[in-house]
Structure 1
Amino acid sequence: MDSQQQAAVGVDPPVVKRSIVAGAIGVLVHWFDWAIYAYMSTTIATIFFPAQDPTAGLLSVFAVFAVSFAIRPIGSLIFGPLGDRIGRRKTLSIVIVTMTAATLLVGLLPGYESIGILAPILLIVARLLQGLAAGGEFGSAATFLAEFSPRKHRGFGVSWLEVGSLLGFLVASLTVFVLSTVLNSEAIAAWGWRIPFLLAAPLGVIGFYIRQKIEDTPDFQALQENDNVAETPLRDLFTGSWRQFLQMCGIEVMMHVTFYIVLVYLLTYQAQHLELSSSNAAMASTVTSLVALVLVPLFGALSDRVGRKPLLIGSGIALMAGGYPLFMLMEGGSLVSVLMSQIGLGAILALILGTHAVSIAEIFPTRVRQGGLSIGYNLTAAVFAGTVPYLMTYLIDETGNVFVPAFYLMLVGAVGLVAALTLRETVGKNLLTSQDVPKNTTAEDPASAQRT
């Protein structure tokens, strides 16, 4: 049936459920790989870099990590507009195959002692491939979920994207915990470190299979039927939707900085400034992830009832009002005070994660949606997310003020608040705009008639 007929009958609920799995599983694979590389960094340093200076080796591992982060905007420039030209499903399939192959390659690489300088070179190549593919994952998946989710439940449907990212973190930490429990340090250094990277292969195969079994989104099919697929999506994005792009960047700066401070940097912060044991810090981080995991879809569903804008405004206000008090609570130093603080920060993070993706997906026309989401997300990630650990460490060292992370959260909360205030409410919006379909047609957003 064509898109107009599909709009009349709606997308079957089983198809919607499969689309949610198809969209979320790639994000899970991406963040699983990202977390595993970070968790295994000390071991990777000894395997791939000369053992003359352990610190230099560790810095080299983090440098490779930073390179893969910095290349993501290039990946977004490739895969974002590509999805607006050839479709969401095809791009998602290309991305997950590339991402899985790069992760698998790391698990199969010989070490420095076996092939010398070629080992770190191949590691860099693998991480560059992973970074390029990761540059296309979020925008492709968010667009895919937004265009498949029923209009009345779009916030809930898209929120599962971030459930996938949090699950990736949790599965990675659980994998490393099991390895360190079952194997001794010698076995992990000899071969055990490869297991998590090899696990990405079956996850990727499952994700590819699911994505291949689903048709492209009804909205993109409507573009094809109306012969209105963007021929120059990148140019169209920055000539026709630059305001939406700037609004998105403001929201994403708030999201990225909060995400990396709460789930990544706090592990280092607590060890350095609170003298919290690594096991207690890891436990607190896991609790935070679990809290966010439960709350994200609830906030996504809430946005379907009260709107995106109130929750985004609330997110900015919560960071501005709660950042400093929650860090003061954390400075109490006890495990209880740390847990209470992180639960509060996790709840604010969940409020942002449950709302941001659907909000930015709804502000772009369908013709340039994937490009806009991909480029804006990864550009702000490269500039603001990847610099969080270094910037926080540097500023605390220079100022002697341990509340720098709280002030930074308050600042990005203000940025997000300003961006949210400029947005129009988009809940229940028809994703197919006048830019997407000719005026003489009656094409309707296929999600509008989906079963509820």
Structure 2
Amino acid sequence: MSSTARPSYEPASPAPLTKLATAGGLGNFLEWFDFAAYGFFAASIGRVFFPSDDPTTSLLSSLAVFGVAFVVRPLGGITVGAIGDRLGRRAALSLTVLLMGVATTLMALLPGYDAIGVAAPILLVLLRCTQGLAAGGEWAGAASFLVEYAPRQHRGLWGSILTSTAAMGAVVGCFVAVILDSVLTVEQLDSWGWRVPFLLATPLVGAGLYVRLRLEDTPAFRALQQEHKLARSPLREAFARHKKSMTLVFFCSAVHGVCFYYLATYVINFLTSAQIGMNRTQALVGTAIGLSIYTVLCPLAGIVSDRIGRRPSMLVGSAAMAVLAIPAFILIAQGSLWTTIVGMTMLAVFEALVNVTTLVLLIEMFPTSTRMSGGSTGYNLALAAIAGPAPLIAAAVAANVDLVGSAAFYMVAVAAIGFVVLLIWLPETVGNPLLTDDDTADTAGTAADSAVPERKLTERAN
């Protein structure tokens, strides 16, 4: 193809970006509101679906189901990713919000163990798997749509819309939990109160589906359609040509995913556990404030990532998590509102940096034809294998290791390993044009040649 026929991948005007931010953010908010709500009400859900004389056993069973949803995320990433690469980003995003909404509504209406016996936890697992399938395609789909439209110099800032709305979903879920905890007894929460957040999410499904169906697909994907360059098997091509990129996305996603699920899911259960014994309402308020600070930090992290680069952002964020995780949890373990906020903020600063950077790398390291399949597979494999089990592992470690801050051991290990891998192999991608179907070589290289891809990719795209 001649250079004169080469399509432009920059947005034609700022108007689509506003629509895109709304559509991507709304669906993303719904997804993470649901996941956060499950985490905040894990104790009640455990008692309803896994009754036991030991509260810790019920809680661990409930958190295990939380992790089950992550087991099927790779399948969701593969399936929805292929849809996004073959039929378009809009089709993929519409499917994910529909699946998530239906599963969330049905969960709110699901009878407990006392009503239908063992069928209750089985159905709960199936619904969580459905949510996992939807979530598996949501993040990479929304990221592809948003970043493919965003101006080259502001991809980090625009990507932060997704990380911010994810945190906002958790914050709103937390405040809903605060309200319910303050007006309902434990018996009422176990009976019906835990269902309220899932019912509140139902109207957002229609709104999210409506907005997404009205969007036009990205210029990059439409150009690929016009040139008849759609991949016949996007995932196979991603594995054949971009294994290094998928591996690097895996490690980036593992680092950010573990920290995020500690903040959004585990902290509240840690604070209210027998070891700490904080009042649940106070724990929810502290968690909500910490997540609110994280929400505000995400756009700032996006700006930093655009300014200093993806590689420094990932390395600084990963190293800081490895160093600060235990001190942060020592503060959180003090059981006061202010030490909880300080401890969460210590983690939130660097989680915001890592999360936003991971999201943009998810897009910048793959060409248009395999972007959703390659990016979502690396991302979801990390969340399934490493991040999803984090709340369960953290709870188990804290329950069995009598050391202050022991709950953070898992985060430290993941962040440290991720730092070493990224230090050796992560290239710089900031400022580069998005890869096209003509860029077939794997972009992942060593630190020494990280400047070379930028020059070569710029030449290819012009």
Classify the TM-score, shorter chain: 0.7 to 0.9
- Number of the residue aligned with 1:87: 88
Check whether the contact 1:263–1:288 (CA below 8 A) recurs between aligned residues: no
Contact residue 98 and residue 129 of structure 1 kept, 8 A: yes
Alignment partner of 1:307 out of 306, 309, 316: 309
Per-residue displacement from partner, 1:187-246 (whole Å, max 9, x unpaired)?
Answer: 555544433222222111111111011111111111111111111111101110001111
Corresponding residue for residue 291 of structure 2: 289
Instruction: State whether residues 60 and 395 of structure 2, in contact with CA within 8 Å, keep that contact through their aligned partners in structure 1.
Output: no
Q: How does 1:161-176 map to 2 (within 5 A)?
A: 161-176=162-177
CA 1:251–1:222 in 2, change beyond 3 Å: closer, same or farther? Answer: same
1-structure distance, mates of 2:26, 2:310: 24
- Checking the alignment, whether the CA contact within 8 Å between 1:183 and 1:192 is kept in structure 2 is yes
Aligned to 1:267: 268
1:60-110 per-residue CA deviation (whole Å, 9 max, x = no partner) reads 544433322222122112111221111111011011111101111122334
Moved more, 81-90 or 9-18: 9-18
Moved more, 393-402 or 303-312: 393-402
Segment of structure 1 superposing worse, 319-328 or 134-143? 319-328
Shift of 1:259: 1.5
> Kindly tell me: are residues 179 and 329 of structure 1, through their superposed partners in 2, closer, same or farther at Cα, counting changes over 3 Å?
closer
Structure 1 counterpart of 2:415, one-letter code = G
Shift in CA distance, 201/430, structure 1 to aligned 2, threshold 3 Å: same
Range with bigger deviation, 384-393 or 231-240? 384-393
Map of 2:454 onto structure 1? none
Shift in CA distance, 204/165, structure 1 to aligned 2, threshold 3 Å:
same
1:351 maps to amino acid: L
1:357-416 superposed Cα distances (whole Å, 9 cap, x missing partner):
012221111111101221111111111122223323444555533333444433333333
CA distance in 2, matches of 1:334, 1:216: 48
1:229 — aligned with what? 230
Contact 1:295 1:347 in 2 (8 A): yes
Q: Is the 8 A contact 1:320 1:410 kept in 2?
A: yes
Which of the residues 397, 400, 403 maps onto 1:401?
Answer: 403
Residues 1:253 and 1:119: Cα distance change in structure 2 (over 3 Å)? closer
Give CA-to-partner distance per residue, 1:18-75, whole Å, 9 cap, x none: 1112112222111111122233344445555678887766555444333222221221
Give yes or no for contact 2:110–2:120 (8 Å, CA) kept in 1: yes
- Give the Å deviation of 1:330: 4.5
Is this contact kept in 2: 1:112–1:118, CA < 8 A? yes
The residue aligned with 2:325 is 323
Closer, same or farther: CA 161–5 of 1 in aligned 2, 3 Å: same
Structure 2 distance, partners of 1:392, 1:55, is 13
In structure 1, stretches of 5+ residues that fail to align are 438-443
- Cα offset, 1:12, TM superposition: 2.1
Partner of 2:382: 380
Q: Which amino acid aligns with 1:377?
A: Y
2:101 alignment partner AA: T
Deviation, 1:159, is 1.1
Deviations 1:277-324 (A, max 9, x none): 333332221121011100101110222222212211211222233334
- Cα distance in 2 for residues equivalent to 1:359 and 1:50: 43
Corresponding residue SS for 1:7: coil
Inter-CA distance 182–275: structure 2 relative to 1 (3 Å threshold): closer
* Paired AA for residue 435 in structure 2: L
Out of 417, 421, 431, which is 1:428 matched to? 431
Q: Equivalent residue of 2:134, what SS?
A: helix
Aligned-partner Cα distance in 1 for 2:337–2:127: 39
How many residue pairs get aligned? The number is 439
Separation of aligned partners in 2, 1:114 and 1:416: 45
Separation in 1 of the partners of 2:244 and 2:10? 34
CA contact (8 A) 2:327 2:405 kept: no
- Give the superposition deviation at 1:341: 2.2
**Residue 40 of structure 2 contacts residue 265 of structure 2 at CA under 8 Å; is this kept in 1?**
no
Q: Distance in 1 between matches of 2:348 and 2:208?
A: 28
CA RMSD of aligned residues (A): 3.0
Counting aligned pairs with the same residue, the percent is 38
Contact 1:263-1:289 within 8 A present in 2 as well: yes
Distance 1:397 1:52 in 2: 17
Aligned to 1:153: 154
Equivalent residue of 2:8, what SS? helix
- Residue 435 of structure 1 aligns to a residue whose secondary structure is coil
Q: Which amino acid aligns with 1:294?
A: V
Give the 5 Å matches for 1:135-150. 135-150=136-151
Is the Cα contact below 8 Å between 2:65 and 2:125 reproduced in 1?
yes
Whether the aligned pair in 1 keeps the contact of 2:31 and 2:135 (CA below 8 Å) is: yes
- TM-score when scaled to structure 2? 0.85
The equivalent of 2:278 in structure 1 is 276
For 2:242, the aligned partner's letter is S
Taking a change above 3 Å as real, the CA distance of residues 67 and 215 of structure 1, as seen in their structure-2 partners, is: same
1:435-450 to structure 2, matched below 5 A, reads 435=438
Q: Which runs of 5+ in 2 are unaligned?
A: 441-456
CA-to-partner distance for each residue in 1:236-290, whole Å, 9 max, x for gaps? 0111000111111111111112212333323343444444333333222112101
Take 1:185 and 1:394, find their aligned partners in 2: how far apart are those partners?
A: 24
Distance 1:403 1:334 in 2: 15
Return the structure number with greater relative CO, CA threshold 8 A, min gap 6.
Answer: 1
Asked if structure 2 preserves the Cα contact closer than 8 Å seen for 1:219 and 1:432, the reply is no
Give the 4+ runs in structure 1 shifted more than 6 A.
3-6, 50-56
Quote how far apart the aligned CAs of 1:347 are. Answer: 1.3
